[in-house]
Amino acid sequence: MSGEIPVSGHCLCGAVGFTAAALSPDVTACHCTMCSRWGGGVALSIDIETAPVFTGEDNLGVYKSSDWGERGFCKLCGSSLYWRLSGTDRYTFSAGALDDTSHLRLTKEIFIDEKPGYYTFANDTVKQTGDEATAAFLAEAEHRT
């Protein structure tokens, strides 16, 4: 697995921009309560595992949201930009921040057990509970190191 799809994007006000290499055109929806509070609803993101390059990095805020994860946002406009496995180059970037989303496809939903009742996606996706998603993610991370 190597990131081969170049992507670029920026926050709502444009102060923070980024370029990176996506692993695939697959979008994951995270229904967890932390993502909902962070971005106002379900987080739709793409997987990246090489260090992204930022512009306007002075305006990039980082919030450590758990023992192993941190979230990047624009300090000026508040846009939610990424989740990162702390201390690694493993990121998930907000799909909505990308300049070109035409190639993306929603393939997976995680933390389905925390999904609020007021919406349900019609897409045919792989669904994982929080425990299943966390176990799969940690196994993948271990495999890589």
What residue ranges bind Zn ion (CB under 5 A)?
11, 13, 15, 30, 32, 35, 74, 76-77
Neighbours of 12 (CB within 10 A): 14
Cβ proximity to Zn ion: between 7 and 30 the closer is: 30
Task: Assess contact for 29 and 46: CB atoms under 8 A.
Answer: no
Q: For the chain, give the number of residues.
A: 145
In whole angstroms, the minimum distance from the beta carbon of 130 to Zn ion comes to 8
How far, in Å, CA of 76 to CA of 5, rounded? 28
Smallest gap from Cβ 143 to Zn ion, in A, equals: 22
Instruction: Give Rg (Cα) of the chain.
Output: 14
Residue closer to Zn ion, measured from CB, 21 or 76: 76
- From the CB of 7, what's the least distance to Zn ion, in Å? 18
* Between 5 and 76, CB nearer to Zn ion: 76
Angle at 41 between CA 36 and CA 43, to 5 degrees: 80
For residues 15 and 22, which CB has a smaller minimum distance to Zn ion in the complex? Answer: 15
The four Cα atoms 49, 55, 60, 64 give a dihedral, to 10 degrees, of 10
Least Cβ distance, residue 113 to Zn ion (angstroms): 12
